[in-house]
């Protein structure tokens, strides 16, 4: 086999192995952050759960906060594509719907899917924020981004001419109902299905925000 071919094969295999290691690290980190708490989880514990050397994590991410940030990004988006949440196909389809009640129903379904991936992780970040300044700033960053996103939803809703409330009120209602606490209460604690939760949330949004 020519040396050039062998080197390309070796490089490809190394890249695949590094990608697999990163995947295992992030999966292990999310599980530990949720079950043990972000503050109580060490990088060594993440490495052990992922089956990699702790140096591998430090090489790839440098700090535990960087691991948390990447875990969050993957949880929000559902994959490792570098695409803003509002630009993903499922949400572009929501914005493209001209009928506001139908749009809110679609958004409730998409949002519930995201909550399945993120609500418990956000709770772990919130729990760490009281004693960790970096975690507190990250939580604030998450909420700033969410408020901005709900503002985009509200502007688009206002443009339909079907809002029953001012645009700012729409933004704030969406913001207040999308932090994961309602999902954790009704699905996580009370045992609702995701489908029942999404249907209920759509009814709340429609009754509150849509003009008769």
Residue range 9-67, pLDDT digits in tens: 567 777 777 788 889 999 999 999 999 999 999 999 999 999 999 999 999 899 999 99
Cα dihedral 22, 129, 194, 116 in deg (nearest 10): 0
Judged against a pLDDT cut of 70, whether residue 5 lies above it is answered with no
pLDDT digits (tens, 9 = 90+) for 165-203: 999 999 999 999 999 999 999 999 999 999 999 999 999
How many Cβ atoms are within 10 Å of 201's Cβ, its own excluded? 23
Q: What is the pLDDT of residue 157?
A: 98
Q: What is the pLDDT of residue 172?
A: 98
Distances (CA, A) of 79 to 14, 27, 75, 144, 163: 21, 12, 7, 22, 33
Six-digit token pair at 198? Answer: 């999404």
pLDDT digits (tens, 9 = 90+) for 52-95: 999 999 998 999 999 999 999 999 999 888 889 999 999 999 99
Q: What are 163's strand-pairing partners?
A: 210
Strands (DSSP E) found in 64-208: none
Do 67 and 173 touch, CB atoms closer than 8 A? no
Q: Please, what sign has the CA dihedral across residues 127, 130, 131, 137?
A: positive
For the domain 1-82, what is the CATH code? 1.10.10.60
How many Cβ atoms are within 10 Å of 115's Cβ, its own excluded? 24
Do 124 and 30 touch, CB atoms closer than 8 A? no
């Amino acid at each position: 086999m020519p040396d050039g071919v062998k080197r390309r094969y070796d490089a490809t295999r190394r890249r695949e192995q590094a990608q697999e290691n990163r995947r295992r690290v992030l999966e292990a980190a999310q599980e530990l952050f949720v079950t043990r708490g972000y503050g109580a989880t060490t990088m060594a514990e993440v490495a052990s759960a992922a089956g990699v050397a702790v140096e591998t994590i430090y090489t790839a991410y440098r700090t535990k906060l960087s691991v948390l940030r990447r875990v969050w990004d993957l949880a929000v988006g559902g994959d490792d594509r570098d695409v803003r949440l509002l630009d993903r196909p499922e949400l572009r389809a929501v914005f493209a719907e001209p009928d506001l009640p139908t749009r809110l129903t679609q958004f409730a379904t998409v949002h519930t899917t995201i909550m399945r991936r993120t609500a418990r992780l956000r709770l772990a970040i919130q729990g760490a924020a009281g004693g960790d300044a970096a975690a507190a700033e990250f939580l604030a960053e998450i909420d700033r981004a969410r408020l901005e996103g709900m503002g985009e939803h509200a502007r688009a809703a206002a443009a339909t001419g079907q809002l029953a409330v001012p645009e700012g009120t729409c933004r704030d209602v969406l913001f207040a109902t999308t932090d994961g606490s309602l999902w954790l209460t009704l699905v996580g604690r009370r045992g609702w299905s995701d489908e029942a939760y999404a249907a209920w949330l759509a009814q709340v949004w429609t009754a509150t925000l849509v003009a008769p």
